[in-house]
Amino acid sequence: MDPRQGREVAHLAGARMPADHGLAALGLLMQLFGSVFAGVMAFFAMVPILAGGAPNAWVIFVIGALGCVRSIFHRIAGTSLIYGSARGPLYMMNVYSVISVVQTALTILLLKKYMLVDAPGKMLATFAIILLAWPLAVFLVARWPRLRRFGSEGVPTAEDMGFEGAAVLMTILGVIGVLFAALVIYALTQAEGKILSTPQGMLTMGVFLMLLVRAILHFVAGIKGTAGVDSDGATDAAAKYYNFGVVSSVIAGGVFLIMLMMEGGGSPGAIKGVVVIISMMVYTLLVWPLALRRFFTERNFSALLSGSDAPNYRRAPDAGLTALGWLLLATGVYFMAQALPTALFKTPFDVTTLLRMGHDSGMGDEIAALGRSPWWNVGVCAAQLWAAFELITMSDRYRVAGSAYGVIATVVTIYLQWPMLKMLKHMGGAGLFGGDQIPSFIMIALSVTLPIATVLLVNRNVTPAAQARIRSAEES
């Protein structure tokens, strides 16, 4: 062979890498976030319609519609990673990246020309960076040498069918759900005006207690799955969660509709707006249970159909940690895209405030007055991205990186979020039900859960040889 001729270099997975490199978990995450953002942006597009029209209402509609289209392709890209596509699993990731660039350019142009004429260029630049950060990450992932071959070969099924990676995500998201519901319940009990003495307050408390039970089922299913030794038990626990998740989502929507009817009065436009908000809430609550139901059902069903020809499934060598890596990457990229420009430009930035066209939720000034340096967040994000890379590649440093990130982020998060936690008793009441404080509760739960969960997951004892037994048709 002529030595001058180029040769294809094989990029082999390490001894701790699963066959699918954790891409099934990445697909689940992209399905989740894509679906949620599609609902949010669809609601944003409907705001001018529900409001009966306003100056430049068409701009708000177009921005929302563009964001919704982008999010739909986000979800499609995730679906193709799990279930494949005619053009290859990585093709839709490239399509999503291109569409995101176009959507970002049009959105910034519309905001600058019609909505935020006098907005500082630094604020718009920060918003553009946030919008482009994840598409750029996805673009690079699709071109990563060790993943490029999947573009033509397809993503193989992991040794454990990706169940432990999904369980890791369920564990973390379950804890976030438990903390979120607990924080809301605590805020309701601390709210002034004795809100629980009203029928509406009691119904609201009942809904969040139900969501707390749902989150606990979510967490329990995740914990069983991360044991990695009983695929049947893990699947059954996941089924209990997503079945209850579907039912609880519908019940929550029904309760809030009853509350709307109990209130009575109000203009037709306001009533329509509340109905749309309730519909979006139900849709958001349904997204993850339905995604998990399809994931577990299709993979178990395909294994049953294979019969005696089915492969001998076993615990994946990464014990689901590549899924944790992808989660850290997804959240770390977003947080860094927000934290770094804020630190460099010395201009606080809040996406939700921008989307409300400058109408702040009322907490921003109090938090800013506490004098917390934005460089703390930059340091945490850097540690998180380092841990994400080491976990995605399952390098020899994955435990060190994960533990270092967990300790650093936990300490810094407590330092940064402590003032917010002390203000919980002032965050209940009408503002909570209006949705102004919901993002604050979610961010507190996320920022506390991720680092602690990372430390625990990377340092747990695993048994790589454990069998992931698949129940036969006769046993079923």
> pLDDT tens digits, residue range 233-288?
778 889 999 999 999 999 999 988 888 777 765 566 667 778 888 888 999 999 99
pLDDT digits over 45-102, tens only?
888 777 666 677 888 899 999 999 999 999 999 999 999 888 888 999 999 999 999 9
Instruction: For residues 197-206, give the mean pLDDT.
Output: 83
Contact call for residues 457 and 168 (beta carbons, < 8 A):
yes
Q: Which pLDDT belongs to residue 100?
A: 97
pTM recorded for the entire structure: 0.85
Q: Where are the alpha helices (DSSP H) in 51-120?
A: 57-83, 91-110
Contact call for residues 49 and 90 (beta carbons, < 8 A):
no
DSSP, collapsed to helix, strand or coil, labels residue 111 as helix
Contact call for residues 157 and 314 (beta carbons, < 8 A):
no
- Return the amino acid letter for 200: Q
* 436 or 202, which is more confident: 202
Cβ neighbours around 419 below 10 Å, total: 13
Residues across the chain: 476
N-to-C CA span, the chain: 56
pLDDT digits over 110-148, tens only?
988 887 666 677 888 888 999 999 999 999 998 898 888
* Alpha-carbon span 316 to 306, nearest angstrom: 20
Q: Which pLDDT belongs to residue 37?
A: 94
pLDDT digits over 375-401, tens only?
888 999 999 999 999 999 999 999 999
